[in-house]
Amino acid sequence: MKINENLSTESGWEIIEHQFAEEHLVAAGSNFLTGNGYLGYRGTFPEWRKDRYVGCFVTDTYDNGDGKWTELCNVPNALYTLLKVDGEEVSTCCEPVPSTGTKAPFYCRKLDLKSGILSLENCWQGQNGKKLAIKTEQFASYADLHVIPLRYRVTALEPCRLEIWTGIDGRIWDLNGRHLHDYLFDSGADYLSVTARTGELGIRVAVLEGHTVSGAVPIPGNQGR
């Protein structure tokens, strides 16, 4: 097993990563997992999909999908969020780059075991040279075991056009066999939903996404949008 030498801590309550390492992709998703006893969400990045081992596993959804292994189901991903800058897709796990002014290159993924909050801070620069400061935070609520809030904050360091694509990703990474069937999709003014059932016992699974958006605030001296 490979050990991630980039991990550190400040008080003993945190797991901190200062450089993304592709070779630790699977292990890091487990190391940075957040959960509340009812569900657990792997410590992946908002724009990642099934090929990057995104997973939200829910208690009491055991299913046998391949005739051999019984396991908890991975459900559709309601935290999927993709940011585009002038049409270019942003990778929140990219290597840090120098930002404007006096800021230094920066990347930090941190799981605070005391608060249960997983956070990411990074500076990003696209092929077109546009630069952003990104910060995300998420946790599995203990007050409401069915809720995983995600806050995605982006600061444009120069004028650009920002687009946020969000939704429920139903393309699921399954460990052993397919578990969910009979998908039904619905939407309203402020929500999206997906329901499905497990193949073996017919357990119904429902995933909903709601969101709020705070308006763009130009940096003083800039005319960003």
Whether residue 223 lies inside any domain: the answer is no
Q: Determine, yes or no, domain membership for 168.
A: yes
In a domain, 217, yes or no: no
Other residues' Cβ atoms within 10 Å of the Cβ of residue 178: 13
The per-residue pLDDT for range 90-133, each reduced to its tens digit, is 988 875 554 444 344 578 999 999 999 999 999 888 888 888 89
How much is the pTM? Answer: 0.86
Tell me how many domains the chain contains. Answer: 1
pLDDT given for residue 101 in this prediction = 43
Residue 2, domain member (yes or no)? no
Q: Residue 156 falls within a domain, yes or no?
A: yes
In this prediction, residues 143-154 reach a mean pLDDT of 96
Residue pLDDT, tens place only, 41-90: 999 999 999 999 999 999 999 999 999 999 999 999 999 999 999 999 99
- Domain assignment present for residue 171? The answer is yes
Does 220 reside within a domain? no
The answer to the question of residue 215 being in a domain is no
Tell me the pLDDT band of 8, cut-offs 50, 70 and 90.
Answer: confident
- Res. 20: pLDDT tops 70: yes
Whole-number pLDDT of residue 95: 58
Q: What does pLDDT average to over the chain?
A: 87
Q: Which residue has the higher pLDDT, 5 or 27?
A: 27
Q: Name the residue range of residue 14's domain.
A: 7-210
Any idea what the CATH number is for the domain that residue 108 is in? 2.70.98.40
Q: Are 124 and 92 in contact (CB under 8 A)?
A: yes
Region of poorest pLDDT, from 20-29, 111-120, 191-200: 20-29
